[in-house]
Amino acid sequence: MVIEGKSVFSGVAIGKLSIFNKKDNTVKRNTIQDVEAETKRFEDAREVAKTQLAGIYEKAVKEVGEVNAQVFEVHQMMLDDLDYVESITNMIESQKVNAEFAVATTGDNFSDMFASMDDDYMRGRAADVKDISNRVISILQGNSNDADMADEPVILLADDLAPSETVQLDKSKVLSFVTRHGSTNSHTAILARTMNIPALIGVDYPEDANGKVGIVDGFEGKIIIDPDEETLKVYQEKKKQEDDKKRLLQELKGQDNVTLDGKRINLYANIGGVGDVASVLANDAGGIGLFRSEFLYLESDTYPTEEAQFSAYRKVAENMAGKKVIIRTLDIGADKQVDYFELDKEDNPALGYRAIRICLTRPEIFKTQLRAILRASYYGNISIMFPMIISVSEVKKIKEILAEVKAELDAEGIPYKKDIEIGVMIETPAAVMISEELGKEVDFFSIGTNDLTQYTLAIDRQNPKLDDFYDSHHPALLKMLQMIVDNGHKGGAWVGICGELGADTTLTETFLKMGFDELSVSPSMILRVRDKIRSIDTTK
């Protein structure tokens, strides 16, 4: 069976198909007869949940460190909280209701109670109690609360994947992404490019595909389910050829990013978390041009603490051993929603309350992140970048807040890099038009071409119906890019690209001739872009 789709990253994947099912924790109230048996059901589920959390904690300690894993210890302790447990068992006994309903009701009640408290720490427990309640409900319903990834790598099929879901996946077990919905510019697509695996969208796969052998052809945009022996052999040879090309690129490690006529450009990598640094180093990137710090928030059940953030930023800085690490302050909002931020539903979220707008109106969140970044800067070559800027006044306000945080750290005797470099993302037409003025306020620009394209062309990049209208090579966009480079240099800022367009090798020569100082791309694209740079003569 061959099903057509739209490719968002090329390549070939061969393996078992696995359908990613979102958990349904819908709970109905049922009357029960055997109170003792129902109470035991709850107690058994609670013990299973504690065992799960202990295992997750141990795994998290190894992967992200003890500080970042502490949330799972907190969850284990909450499952032993006497008030929480007695509320559930009392409801089962007095109202003769099923355990699922008692857990759900108690979870909602306790969550509301924590959310109404004045203390920030206690308010943060609201999301925790909901999470542990959902875990217990999943066990009672016979579901697993953790990702149902197979022991072997699989081709993952899904209706769609939210950023908060993709960060939970064991990426070593994913050969390819195939979704029914989504767009070529979705975060699932960006993740696929980061992981260097083929991905398709718009594929109406059958429900009985689970467990069958499949082939994803990211070159032609199709998936083949239950291929015959001859087709399988053809694609195994295609995959071998692709693997051979990747091996040849490895010979470019240690080589300079210099054109035939001697023009040099910095080539950095984009990452979403600490775990991506290994890929950055493996692909010989010169630094990190975009650390998407919002993934620390997407991975958490509550606001990540200063210590948790500091630990992550410090680890990346130390691992990069003096190479530049540009941390973008949180870019929550639009398609990256986090429940505990309690953002209102918006008709046009991409144009709404997001990124720097949240930071400037919730300074307590912003200051926590800035403190963590500044503290980590003492351990490496860190720069800070601010997203979604539309005015000089925003930059001046940011600098005021940054100065306040520095003064606090000075008063506490906490060391940090005093002359830390700051920059802004140019991703709105407004920022383009005032780029010369912005260049006088900051050290560098990094162009977010994904958003700049959608705002310039008035196209929602998350809407798959508009993919054919989304033209990242549009003359208006290319004129803007030249304007940004020229104005940035006039103002004294160096200029780079961290959007997906930076990895488009059909434009690499254009970017070099425009005068860009840096390109930041997915780790998997570093050597391909380096290969292209070294083949260009900009004098011709």
Instruction: Mark the binding-site residues, compressed into ranges.
Output: 292, 328, 427, 450-451, 461
What token pair was written down for 407? 């003064």
- Beta-carbon contacts of 198 under 8 Å, excluding residues fewer than 6 positions away, are 7, 9, 10, 11, 12, 13, 176, 192, 216, 217, 218
Gap between the Cα atoms of 244 and 192, Å rounded: 20
Domains located in the chain, CATH noted: 2-20+147-232 (3.50.30.10), 35-141 (1.10.274.10), 254-535 (3.20.20.60)
Q: What is the pLDDT of residue 178?
A: 93
* Residue 124 amino acid letter: G
Q: What tokens appear for 307 in the block? A: 């210590």
* pLDDT at residue 444, rounded to an integer: 98
Q: How far apart are CA 69 and CA 99, in angstroms?
A: 29
Q: Whole-angstrom Cα distance, residue 306 to residue 320?
A: 21
Q: Where are the beta strands (DSSP E) in 408-479?
A: 421-426, 444-447
Instruction: Note the helical H segments in 283-391.
Output: 294-298, 306-319, 356-361, 363-377
Q: What is the per-residue pLDDT for 163?
A: 58
DSSP bridge partners of 97:
31
The residues assigned a catalytic role are 187, 498
Q: In what order do the strands lie in the sheet with 222-225?
A: 2-4, 222-225, 213-217, 12-19, 154-158, 174-179, 199-201, 6-9
Instruction: Name the β-bridge partners of 356.
Output: none
What are the start-end ranges of the H helices in 293-362? 294-298, 306-319, 356-361
By the 8 A CB rule, do 128 and 78 touch? yes
pLDDT of residue 148: 47
Other Cβ atoms within 10 Å of 535 Cβ, number: 12
- Residues annotated within the binding site for Mg(2+) are 427, 451
pLDDT at 441 (0 to 100): 97
* Positions in the chain whose pLDDT score sits under 50: 145-148
Among residues 406, 341, 336, 395, the alpha carbon closest in space to that of 370 is found at 406
| pLDDT attached to residue 75 | 83
Question: pTM, whole model, 2 decimals?
Answer: 0.63
Distance from C-alpha of 265 to C-alpha of 526, rounded to nearest angstrom: 12
- Report CA 473 to chain centroid distance, whole Å: 25
Token pair belonging to 87: 């509320």
* Structure tokens that stand for 455 in this block: 């705002």
Number of CB atoms found within 10 A of residue 437's CB: 15
The 10 Å Cβ neighbour count of residue 2 is: 12
Distance of CA 349 to the CA centre of its chain: 18
* CB-based contact 261:537 (threshold 8 Å): yes
- Report the alpha-carbon distance of residue 139 to residue 188 in Å, rounded: 28
- For 145, which DSSP code? S
